Amino acid sequence: MINRAQFEYINEPGFPLDWLEYGEALRLTEQKIQESLKTAPLTIRHLTTHLARAGGKGIRAQALLACAMGSDDLIRKSAVNAAAAIELLHLATLIHDDIIDEADTRRGIAALHVKFGDKLAVLCGDYLLCFALKLVASVTSDDKTDLNKMAATLLPYFTEVCLGEVREFSNTGNLDLTEEEYLKIISGKTAALFRASFHAGFLLSDEPQEMEDAYVDIGEQIGMIFQLADDCMDFTSSLKKAKKPVLNDCSRGVVTLPLIHALKEDKGLKEKMLNGASEDDIRAAVIKTGGIEYLRSMVADRKMKAKELISMLGSEKKRGRLGLLLEKAASL
């Protein structure tokens, strides 16, 4: 990793900028994502252009870039492709999710399948998935890893995301789903991509090898927090704030932690649901049984663990950025 004395030299005209400050790395990542969407094959370009109009949180890309910061707070330029790949793969999963869930909106705009039909939406999702894998394969190696290791590290996480979605779908309407089973589902469908982001960032950083597991664990904690906060929002938020339908999980038979807790505390709730209890009745039961408070306490516990792990990292700026992302993920 270069030091700050070299930083002025690498910005001289004509010198290839192989190292970036965080803000520039994030700007280039966002630019890469936009370019990838706006230059897709003509058959689906009107779909990807539609997607480009709605910005996402970008929390996974931000996490990867923050983790990739070296002891001099600079980031290897190849991290841009890795961060863009993570976001594009996430976008691909959202397209497919919306088809399965029959969702009308995503990120405040019409879902692709609603506006352009299922067939083109599936093709668009498939293309973005493949394009993301191509970007992963292009990530430049360094003295701690190589192309094969980066791809070999990330691909199993991508498989975990799909398996998590399969498990969620197979448990649709399962009112006997346990908390342990549910946490396993979201550890795959949501947290796996966070683990991938943190792991990839570590591989591109100059952190010692013994810190590898800590990075993956931070990714797990923040990913789980992110999903649990989303579960809470499904019961407590408005359509305007969430930018997607509220009580959506409940309406499509997805059993989440607040409802699992309510079913455990209210022994008559299962029968009421089987007999057609309304969404408002279910929300009231979740609130009455303390389901939201139970979820928030779990988020607080995981947040404390994540903070402890983040405090172990080498760079002060890295710790600060990851701390901000943790707060963002935990926003309830």
Does the structure show a pLDDT above 90 at 66? yes
DSSP string, 71-103: TTS-EETTHHHHHHHHHHHHHHHHHHHHHHHT-
**HSE-up of residue 215 (Cα within 13 Å, Cβ side):** 28
Does the structure show a pLDDT above 70 at 24? yes
Using 50, 70 and 90 to split pLDDT, how confident is the model at 4? very low
Mean pLDDT score of the chain: 88
Q: Into how many domains does the chain fold?
A: 1
Helical H segments across the chain, by residue range: 4-10, 22-38, 42-52, 59-68, 79-101, 112-116, 118-137, 147-170, 179-189, 191-203, 212-236, 239-242, 248-251, 257-265, 269-274, 279-288, 291-310, 316-329
Per-residue pLDDT, averaged over 219-225, amounts to: 98
Per-residue pLDDT, averaged over 34-43, amounts to: 95
Does the structure show a pLDDT above 90 at 109? no
Per-residue pLDDT, averaged over 191-219, amounts to: 96
C-alpha to C-alpha distance for 48 and 121, rounded to whole angstroms: 10
Phi, psi of 76 (to 5 degrees): -60, 135
Using 50, 70 and 90 to split pLDDT, how confident is the model at 268? very high
Using 50, 70 and 90 to split pLDDT, how confident is the model at 6? very low
Which region among 29-33, 137-141, 203-207, 231-235 has the lowest average model confidence (pLDDT)?
137-141
Using 50, 70 and 90 to split pLDDT, how confident is the model at 29? very high
pLDDT one-digit tens code per residue, 288-316: 999 999 999 999 999 999 999 999 998 89
Does the structure show a pLDDT above 90 at 90? yes
Phi, psi of 241 (to 5 degrees): -75, -45
Question: The domain that contains 174 carries what CATH number?
Answer: 1.10.600.10
Does the structure show a pLDDT above 60 at 242? no
- Domain with 52, as residue range(s), is 4-329
Percent of the chain residues past pLDDT 70, beyond the cut: 88
Which of 137 and 300 is assigned the larger pLDDT? Answer: 300
The model carries a pTM of 0.89
- Give pLDDT, residue 299: 96
Does the structure show a pLDDT above 80 at 147? no
